[in-house]
Amino acid sequence: MVAVVVMILSMILFACGSGTNKEINDETPTRGKIKIGVDESFTLLGDAEIYTFQAIYNYAFITPLYKPELDVLDDFMNDSVRFIITTRKLANEEERYLKDKQIIPRTTTIAYDAVALIINRNNMDSLLLFKTLKEIFSGTIKKWNQIDPSNNTGKIKVVFDNNKSANVRFIREKFGIKDSFPKNCYAVEKNDEVVNFVEKNINGLGVISVNWISDKNDSITRGFMKRVKTVALSSEYDEEGLEYYKPYQAYIADKSYPLVREVYVINRETFTGLGSGFISFITGDQGQRIILKMGMVPATMPVRIIQTKSN
């Protein structure tokens, strides 16, 4: 009787082991199941890339975890996701930690993105000097009439998507803000909530990722742009307001728009698996066209800028 029980247990264990090995051996660059971390600023991009990739490769199953930047990086360091899409490279100590575990992280630039500023459609001040924006984030300018005496919309309410987001970190680094933001700066939970806030508050100034307002063929984007306006900024070194730029692709590409940043994929795979295959897709022709459609600038394919003149 004991021998029979031992034999049955052995068969079960062998079957379980065989299944696990089969699952590992079955993963290829176009087949398998993985989880990836995506900065929630790029939710629309992640959905579009995954949908297209899985439509081509029917046995690829990619589960995205959309979270603020800090949480995405935590998941990556804790081995909860195979790779991440983010706007921050790993710090030296993070790379050393992974290398101590025999993991060599590989970072690839996939796009050039921008932080966009939005205001209520009834707010007249849709042009801002870069130095004025710096004074807003430092707390020197707190009211709209400090920018334009005729603007009586009151105290400026700056709203970010999330306290742990890449947008917050970017603004801190861009303007050298080491302490807390002024008390008129707030955070909600997500980018779409920033749009909701600005729509309902005439004195609001929203900070969001540009891909949320750039894809004119997307119903979500079209809905957003009916409700708010995009701010145009002077270049970083123009203190007179000679020209202003909105976060359009041409101005992101030549960096006339001053709030441009890179978007990275960071991969921790130790073999050529589904993560590597998906990254190859994102950096290939189809994946880069999706990035172009999202209003960002592709990083791995040539971009041609055409200047048009009105007669």
- Kindly report, residue by residue over 129-170, the tens digit of the pLDDT: 999 999 999 999 999 999 999 999 999 999 999 999 999 999
Q: Are residues 42 and 148 in the same domain?
A: no
Does residue 10 have a pLDDT over 50?
no
pLDDT, position 232: 96
Q: Are residues 171 and 211 in the same domain?
A: yes
Q: What is the pLDDT of residues 253-276, one digit of tens each?
A: 999 999 999 999 999 999 999 999
Does residue 311 have a pLDDT over 80?
no
Q: Are residues 240 and 294 in the same domain?
A: no
pLDDT, position 22: 45
Average pLDDT along the chain: 88
| Burial zone of 247 (CB within 10 Å; 0-12 exposed, 13-18 middle, 19+ buried) | buried
CATH code for the domain of 152: 3.40.190.10
pLDDT, position 164: 92
**Boundaries of domain holding 228:** 113-260
Q: Are residues 214 and 104 in the same domain?
A: no
The pTM for the full model equals: 0.84
Q: Are residues 212 and 132 in the same domain?
A: yes
**Within-domain flag for 131:** yes
Q: Are residues 161 and 285 in the same domain?
A: no
pLDDT, position 157: 96
d(CA 293, CA 287): 10
Q: Are residues 242 and 272 in the same domain?
A: no
Does residue 92 have a pLDDT over 90?
yes
Q: What is the pLDDT of residues 29-38, one digit of tens each?
A: 999 999 999 9
d(CA 260, CA 103): 30
The region of weakest confidence among 184-188, 206-210, 254-258, 298-302 is 298-302
**Within-domain flag for 288:** yes
Give the model's confidence band at 190: pLDDT under 50 very low, under 70 low, under 90 confident, else very high.
confident
Q: Are residues 68 and 85 in the same domain?
A: yes
pLDDT, position 221: 54
DSSP for 110-167? Answer: EEEEEEEEEEETT-S--EE-HHHHHHHHHTS--BGGGT-TT----B-EEEES-TTSHH
pLDDT, position 217: 62
Q: What is the pLDDT of residues 38-88, one digit of tens each?
A: 999 999 999 999 999 999 999 999 999 999 999 999 999 999 999 999 999
**Within-domain flag for 70:** yes
**Within-domain flag for 21:** no
